[in-house]
């Protein structure tokens, strides 16, 4: 199994450097049935941030990209259940990082994710500190 850094996924999806895009594409297309590429949660959060902030991708395109990664058999995602749930929250308007924090905490058995961020409470399911 290989792990990939954010920049490998950016090159794969953005294709702003043809040589690196081809190498990333070759890696993913060349995987045998029993081989996998591991993507940690930090990489998915960074990927969303880069696609939004640097490349100006629209929310729905980014959500589709995350959905694609969730469906690829040879991709092993850290906490794919939390990622799936975070992607749903993101589609509905939550900040992706907030959504990942909230859903990963829930999957770790936390009863609440406490915050001072009103938007994270409203859109990512967190709880305002002081209201508990």
The answer to whether residues 63 and 90 belong to one domain is: no
* The last residue of a domain, from among 78, 102, 120: 78
The answer to whether residues 71 and 99 belong to one domain is: no
User: Can you tell me the mean pLDDT for 67-76?
Assistant: 94
The answer to whether residues 14 and 47 belong to one domain is: yes
* The last residue of a domain, from among 33, 53, 78: 78
The answer to whether residues 8 and 68 belong to one domain is: yes
Residue 63 has pLDDT above 90, yes or no: yes
Q: How far is CA 105 from the centre of its chain?
A: 15
Domain count, the chain: 2
Q: Return the beta strands (E) in the chain as ranges.
A: 2-3, 37-39, 75-77, 114-115, 127-128
The answer to whether residues 61 and 20 belong to one domain is: yes
User: CATH number of the domain that 2 lies in?
Assistant: 3.40.50.1010
Domain hosting 25: range is 1-78
Measured CA to CA, the distance from residue 78 to residue 38 in angstroms comes to 7
Per-residue pLDDT reduced to its tens digit, 105-119: 999 999 999 999 999
Check: pTM over 0.75? Answer yes or no: yes
Per-residue pLDDT reduced to its tens digit, 37-47: 999 999 999 99
Longest dimension (CA), the chain: 52
Q: How far apart are the first and last CA of the chain?
A: 43
Measured CA to CA, the distance from residue 84 to residue 102 in angstroms comes to 12
């Amino acid at each position: 199994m290989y792990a990939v850094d954010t920049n490998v996924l950016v090159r794969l999806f953005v294709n702003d450097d043809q040589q690196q895009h081809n190498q990333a594409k070759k890696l993913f297309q060349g995987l045998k049935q029993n081989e996998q590429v591991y993507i940690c949660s930090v990489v998915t959060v960074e990927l969303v941030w880069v696609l939004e902030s640097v490349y100006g991708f629209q929310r729905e395109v980014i959500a589709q990209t995350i959905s694609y990664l969730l469906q690829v058999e040879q991709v092993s995602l850290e906490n794919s259940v939390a990622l799936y749930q975070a992607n749903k929250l993101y589609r509905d308007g939550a900040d992706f990082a907030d959504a990942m924090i909230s859903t990963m905490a829930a999957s770790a058995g936390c009863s609440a994710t406490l915050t001072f961020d009103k938007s994270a409470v409203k859109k990512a399911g967190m709880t305002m500190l002081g209201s508990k």
